Every structure is written in C-alpha cells, then in structure tokens.
Chain A
Amino acid sequence: MDFSILLQIVVVGIAAGGVYGLIALGFVLIYKATSILNLAMGEFMTLGAFVCFTALTSLHLPFYIAFIITLAFAVLLGVIIEPLILRPMIGEPVISVVMVTIGLGVILKGLTYMIWGPVYRAFPPIFPPKPLLLGPIVVPSGLLWGFLFAIATMAVFIMIFKFSRTGVAMRAAAFDQQAALSMGVSVRKVFALSWSFGAIAAVISGVVIGNMSGLNIYMGDIGLAVLSVIILGGLDSIGGAILGGFIVGILQNLTGFYIDPLVGGGAKDIAPYVILLLIIMIRPYGLFGKVTIERV
C-alpha cells in the first residue's frame, strides 16, 4: 500500500469535508434557533449557485459583486420564507414541520427548473486554476478554494456568535426562548435571522460546489447526504458540524477508493447514509449534541 496515495485521499477528503461542514453549519444554525430541520437546504444551495452564476455571466459583474448579490439574496430568502411558511407551523407535530420544508424544497426546485432549465452548466472560472502541491500530494484548485471559503465563512459565523450583539441574542434564544424574551430579545427577529444565516451558509456552499463540479438543478441532492454530518456531530452543535464534515469527507473518500471497485461504483454516494444509520443506532445525539434522556 502506497502511503502517499492514502495521504492524498485523506487530504482531498478534508478539503471536501470543509464544504460538507459548511452545509452542515447551515442546517445547525437553523435547527439550533428554531428546532426545525430544513430539508430544503439543498435547494437553497442550488438557487444560490444559479443566482451567482447569472450575476456573473448574464450581468457580467465581477465575482465579488456577484458574491455580495448572492449573499443579499440568501438573507432575503430567509427573511421571506421563515415568517411566511415556517412561523405558522410553530407547535405543529414534527411530521408536519418536516413535510413543510420538503414541500418548500419541491417548490424551489421546480422554480429553479422553470427559470434556468434542466441543462448542465459550467461555472465561469473565478479562482486561479493552479492546484496546490504539498510534496507528493495534489489538491485540485476548486477543492482548495472551496475549503478556504468554507473555513472563512465558518470563522465569520463563529465570530458573530461570540462577539456581536445579534450573535449573543441568537445564542440566548437558542438556549432558552422564554428567558431570552423576558430579557428583551426579539425571538421573531432571531428566527428570521437564523434562517437567513442558514441560507447564507447554503448559498456559499452552493457557489463553491458549483465552481467545483458545475451547475444543474440536481446539485442540491448533496444536501440530504450532509444529514449524516449533522447527525454525527450532533444536531445542535456548531463545532460538531465542522468536525463531522471533516470525518464524513475523509470516510467518503476512503470508501470511494477502497470499496467502489468492489461493488462497481456508487459506494461513495451511499457511504454517508450508512454512516448515518450506524450513528443513529449507536449514539443518536452525535458527538457533541445535547443528550436528552427519557425513561419509563
């Protein structure tokens, strides 16, 4: 066994894991504040990637302006969708809330399809195409920049939560809604804001993934695979999402290399779900999730 091949797989896995961590962060931000698992996350990603794509190609804007437009779009998406669709669902059973996000995903996917069509598109090159060489290990440029973007976004989010007034309000509302309300935190605003934050994480990962592997309306399907990351890390743990992203990224790449040839392909795509089932059986609250114990 060649050690450098193994190292190569692990490094690529870490780079891919950074993007997974970012999508997972989107899930966690929304779940932590509102206890809603947003299964439309993948469609947020796709939509964001297409918005950025249109700003770049049809409007011929430079990347940083297109990127800012995409972020503004994400904020708008969160602020519109949360009060319109999710707020009426407060207090409804889990199945209804899950279904409403699935329905939302179906609508968004249909709209994306209507606007941009089903064809595959290549993203215009925005990053220098030179791959990074770490000794014998090659990190493709798309993965490298995606990783850097993901890490930077995560860092910004963590800073916001640690130091800004809004971030502290969001943490307070996630910790105890009643107490936060009585201290003057507007829980409504926090809910809408967390959806916007989740959408921001989603669209950034959408742009990154679109840049790596092109755009089509099905690119959002990766959003469901990322469920394994948040289950591994714990549904309500930001650190868990980031660490879980790396672990799943590495495991997936290892499966792709070692098991794919045995079963004739496809194992790489299914690996996250197998990991997910195993974790749910063994440790459903994940590595860092809040443990709730219920006994008769």
Chain B
Amino acid sequence: MRSGDFKENYISDEAIFPSLFARFWVAALLVFLLVFPFIANNHLLYIANMIGFAVIGAVGLNLLTGFTGQISLGHAAFIGVGAYTSAILVTRYGFSFWLSIPLAGMASALAGALIGIPSLRVKGLYLCIATLASQFIFGFIFVHWESMTKGITGIHIPPPAIGALHFDNERKFYWITLFFVLLGVGYARNLIRSKMGRAFMAVRDRDLAAEIMGINLFRYKLSAFAISSFYAGVTGALLVNFLKVVVPEQFSFMVCIEYLAMVIVGGLGSVIGSVFGAVFMTLVPEVLSVLSDIVKEAAPEMASLIVPFKQVVFGFLIVSFLIFEPRGLVEIWNRIKKFFLLWPFSY
C-alpha cells in the first residue's frame, strides 16, 4: 500500500507534472478552460479575463518575491510601464497589438532591472522601502508626463485585431488572455526547475552562501527583477487593451498590495499557489459585490458601507492568512491532496 508520494530518481523529482494526480487535474482544468467561453455569460467572462491578468502578474511577482526573496512594493509601477508602453506604441506609433505586448514586457523589464539596482546593495526592509519609493515616483511620472501619457485624462486604445477578426468583446479577448496565461505559467513552472530557478532559490535562502557557491548575485538578482517585471508589463499591456483605456489610477499603491496579497494568500514560492491566490483574491470582491447587491435591496441605507467593508474584508484576509496559514492556499491544497493520497490511513 502507498504510504506517501516518494521520488526515486532525479528525473521524476524534476518532472513538471510530478504525479498522475497532477496530470489528471491539469488535463481536466484545460478542458474546462477551453469549454468555459462557450457556456459562460459576459460578466463571468469579464471576471475570467481579470483573473487571467491577475494570474500573470502574480506569477511574475512570486518569481521575484517568493522564489528570489526580493521584496517588491512597486509591482504596480511595472504593470503601469507595460500598460503605457503598449498604449503609446499602439495609438501613437501604429504598432500592432501583438508586437506591442513583448515590447511592453521589455520596457517593464528594463524599468524593473533599473529599480532592482538597489537590491544589490540593500535587502529586506530597505529594499521594500526603495521599491515603495519607486512606485510613487513612477506614479508621479504617469500623471505628469502629459505629452506621453496624457496625464489623468488617459489614453483610449482600439481593440486588437488579426485581419478582419477584432477582439473587441470579453469572449474573444478570453482567447488572448488564456494563451498568455498558459504561456506565462508554463514558462514559470519550467524556469524554477532550471539552473536559473535554482539559483533564484539559493539567493533567497542565503545570498552570501549562494555567492560562495558561484552564483553571481548581480546577474541573478537583476534577472529576477527583469523577468518579474516582464510578466508585470505583459499583464499591464493586456489589461489596458482589454479595458480599452489607460489612466494612472489603475496603477496605484493599492494594486501593489493586491498583488502581494495574491502571492501571500496563494503561497510564497509556489507557481500554482500564485494561480490560486490570483483566482481567490479576484473572486472575493466579486462575491462581496453579489452580497452587497442583496444588502442594497434589503437595507438601502447600508449601501455606503459596502465599499469600505470590502476593504476591511480584504485587509482581514491578508492578516488572517499571514497569522493562521502563512504558507497560503497551496498548503491547504497539499493537505487535501495528501488526505486522498493516503486514504484511509492519512497519518
């Protein structure tokens, strides 16, 4: 009888899908994702798109914060850089949407590597404060560089197209989002079992020891910032092309907190955890909105309390996860898995 999930050689340890169980669920999920746009209504598809963007951004942030241990409170700034790059390239210079996505990613990666420079000198709390400062400086640039970003009025973007096919509604855009989500998650999953991924984790666990073992801190810390920001840039570019408008408020400090919350609630240092976290943290406000509609019907005078109440729930989720389940949703998932794997003797 099985008493656990044991690896007997390195090949099985490094496999992308470590068990039959995982393969089955990934296949089931894929089928669901492919069928989903045919059965869902527009509102559900809108949420699905938003979840997709959150997944890409959260996986990117987890590569930096969860795997490399470099805290970033400036993720929204990188999302913003990507968003503005794509918007400006498409509207002003006539680039196609498809070309603007990788270019937006690269612009963000450049910004990320630039902001990552302090990480070579400071770490922990100081890095956290440095990235926070960058967040506010970028926010200032988005608002005040009006000749490029059009300030608080924002830029309107036409929907992307291939030939005569315009991706102008939630259902059509879903396919673009799905493509980039699969690409992003697949890349991250592969990256962490490569040399670079292991180097990231070595830097996180003890940077001095990693340096002694021949890992070039300069190179890997900046790579982590660049890759994470590339993800953020793609998120931003997709987001604003989907919403067809870009304004500075989309990249406020609150967005940084939301992404960090996704990564922490999902589980630091786990790609699948970020996916869980992104889904969870996007769905919670939606569920609360549904609840608030019911409340509005019953007691209209309570309506003004709903916005702050969402905030309180959001903060409460962050705090309670950190205190009661610091390893996040992925740990709950693992416990459930283990329970079924070892059933009926799960101890």
Binding site for B on A (CB under 8 A): 37, 85, 88-89, 92-96, 98-100, 102-114, 117, 224, 227-228, 231, 235, 263-264, 266, 269-270, 273-274, 276-277, 280-281, 284, 294, 296
- In the complex, A92→B325 CA distance in Å? 12
A166 to chain B, nearest CB (A): 27
- In the complex, A277→B134 CA distance in Å? 8
Question: Is B303 among interface residues, defined by CB-CB distance under 8 A?
Answer: no
Contact A89 B323 (CB under 8 A): yes
Contact partner of B122 (CB less than 8 A), chosen from A95, A99, A284, is A284
Question: Is B126 among interface residues, defined by CB-CB distance under 8 A?
Answer: yes
| Residue of A102, A111, A112 with most chain B CB atoms under a 10 A cut-off | A102
Contact A107 B315 (CB under 8 A): yes
- In the complex, A103→B129 CA distance in Å? 16
B261 to chain A, nearest CB (A): 7
Identify the stretch in B2-10, B135-143, B184-192 within 8 Å (CB) of chain A at 4 or more residues.
B135-143
Contact partner of B326 (CB less than 8 A), chosen from A92, A98, A227, A231, is A92
Contact code string B110-142 (vs A, CB < 8 Å = 1, else 0): 000000011001101110111011101100100
Contact B137 A266 (CB under 8 A): no
- In the complex, A37→B253 CA distance in Å? 17
* Contacts of B47-70 to chain A: CB distance below 8 A: 65, 69
Could you give 22 example pairs across A and B, Cβ below 8 Å? A94-B124, A94-B125, A95-B71, A96-B264, A99-B264, A100-B322, A100-B323, A102-B257, A103-B318, A107-B319, A109-B308, A109-B311, A113-B307, A227-B129, A227-B133, A231-B129, A269-B140, A273-B136, A280-B129, A281-B118, A296-B211, A296-B212
Contact partner of A276 (CB less than 8 A), chosen from B65, B133, B308, B318, is B133
Q: Interface size (B, Cβ < 8 Å)?
A: 49
Contact A296 B208 (CB under 8 A): yes
Contact partner of B71 (CB less than 8 A), chosen from A94, A235, A266, A294, is A94
* Contacts of B279-329 to chain A: CB distance below 8 A: 304-305, 307-312, 314-319, 322-323, 326
Question: Is B87 among interface residues, defined by CB-CB distance under 8 A?
Answer: no
Given A92-B322, A264-B144, A294–B208 Cβ distance below 8 Å?
Answer: yes
Contact A273 B318 (CB under 8 A): no
B52 to chain A, nearest CB (A): 24
Residue of B nearest to A111 (CB): B312
Q: Across the interface, which residues of A come within 8 angstroms of B315, CB to CB?
A: 103-110
Contact A114 B312 (CB under 8 A): yes
Given A85-B319, A89-B322, A104-B319, A110–B121 Cβ distance below 8 Å?
Answer: no
B303 to chain A, nearest CB (A): 12
Residue of A nearest to B121 (CB): A284
Given A105-B315, A277-B118, A270–B128 Cβ distance below 8 Å?
Answer: no
Binding site for A on B (CB under 8 A): 65, 69, 71, 73, 117-118, 121-122, 124-126, 128-130, 132-134, 136-137, 140, 143-144, 146, 208, 211-212, 253, 257, 260-261, 264, 268, 304-305, 307-312, 314-319, 322-323, 326
- In the complex, A25→B144 CA distance in Å? 32
Residue of A nearest to B260 (CB): A99
Contact partner of A95 (CB less than 8 A), chosen from B65, B130, B316, is B65
- In the complex, A99→B265 CA distance in Å? 11
B332 to chain A, nearest CB (A): 17
Contact A110 B311 (CB under 8 A): yes
- In the complex, A231→B69 CA distance in Å? 22
Residue of A nearest to B65 (CB): A95
A195 to chain B, nearest CB (A): 15
A60 to chain B, nearest CB (A): 26
Q: Across the interface, which residues of A come within 8 angstroms of B319, CB to CB?
A: 85, 100, 103-104, 107
- In the complex, A108→B143 CA distance in Å? 28
Contact A270 B137 (CB under 8 A): yes
Q: Across the interface, which residues of A come within 8 angstroms of B130, CB to CB?
A: 276-277, 280
Residue of A nearest to B306 (CB): A114
Contact partner of B318 (CB less than 8 A), chosen from A102, A109, A274, is A102
Q: Across the interface, which residues of B come within 8 angstroms of A88, CB to CB?
A: 323
Contact A274 B137 (CB under 8 A): yes
Residue of B nearest to A116 (CB): B308
Q: Across the interface, which residues of A come within 8 angstroms of B257, CB to CB?
A: 102, 106
Contact A99 B126 (CB under 8 A): no
Q: Across the interface, which residues of A come within 8 angstroms of B117, CB to CB?
A: 281
| Residue of B118, B129, B317, B322 with most chain A CB atoms under a 10 A cut-off | B129
Contact A280 B304 (CB under 8 A): no
